[in-house]
Structure 1
């Protein structure tokens, strides 16, 4: 969407995501991502930490339940989303402004860890179809149904000569 600020942030969760429900029963998960830049100081010959950025983030609906059930404090994550500005009054009546990340996508960073992904039984983009049903409708998704590889047989396919 035009005019929205989209960013990607890599950092660690400062606490477990907090899952709550609105008055209408809509799930929302809130959490904070701490991102600390590291730069190599050539004079000292060592890595130095910069000033940490603590970015509040939120996810909604089924996505919120997935995040709350999958991510935990200390996990290194990669999140992409839109920055939103929110104005409010604090307890003393002072006007405040907060910048928050409305997360579009988030997952664990695999730089220093491994992960095993389990597909949810229903999803926003999948129309609620389970994987076995998709395999029945899409024969190309079934393992072993592919045609033999024409390039693997000697003399098959195309020659080494340039066609022009």
Structure 2
């Protein structure tokens, strides 16, 4: 384990349309939530789905691509890293949350002209240095 890295891979679906904004430097940012499902079998042998929600943030070119192509329900493969942020809430309490900073993503669902979903993928990555807000 000579090379310990902060690396995350998620495969899931967007829970809602991404939110976009531009920070003071002019750099674009996209925020979205991704649902992943794990399955296990219950005591009676029934298959049970367990959904986890992950908060993601994409910067620069990936945010621009997200704005053009992503929507609620989009199926994505995301490679990124975990980032924990802290803030003080309105009551003065210190809070923190963890998000996934997207470094690469592949859009798995593409609508064909007939309206059918195809399983083609389109990959995108951001070669720019990641910024923080």
* TM-score normalized by the length of structure 1: 0.62
RMSD: 2.6
In the alignment, is the contact (CA less than 8 A) between 2:59 and 2:126 conserved in 1? no
Q: Which residue does the alignment assign to 1:32? A: 33
Judging by fraction of residues, say which structure has more helix: 1
Secondary structure of 1:16's partner? coil
Identify unmatched segments of 5+ residues in structure 1. Answer: 126-164
Identify unmatched segments of 5+ residues in structure 2. Answer: 110-116, 128-133
Q: Which residue does the alignment assign to 2:79? A: 80
Instruction: Select the structure with the greater relative contact order (CA < 8 A; seq sep ≥ 6).
Output: 2
Q: How far off is 1:68 after superposition?
A: 1.6
In the alignment, is the contact (CA less than 8 A) between 2:103 and 2:126 conserved in 1? no
Q: Which residue does the alignment assign to 2:89? A: 90
* TM-score normalized by the length of structure 2: 0.75
In the alignment, is the contact (CA less than 8 A) between 2:16 and 2:32 conserved in 1? yes
Aligned length in residues: 118
Q: Which residue does the alignment assign to 1:162? A: none
The structure whose Rg is larger is 1
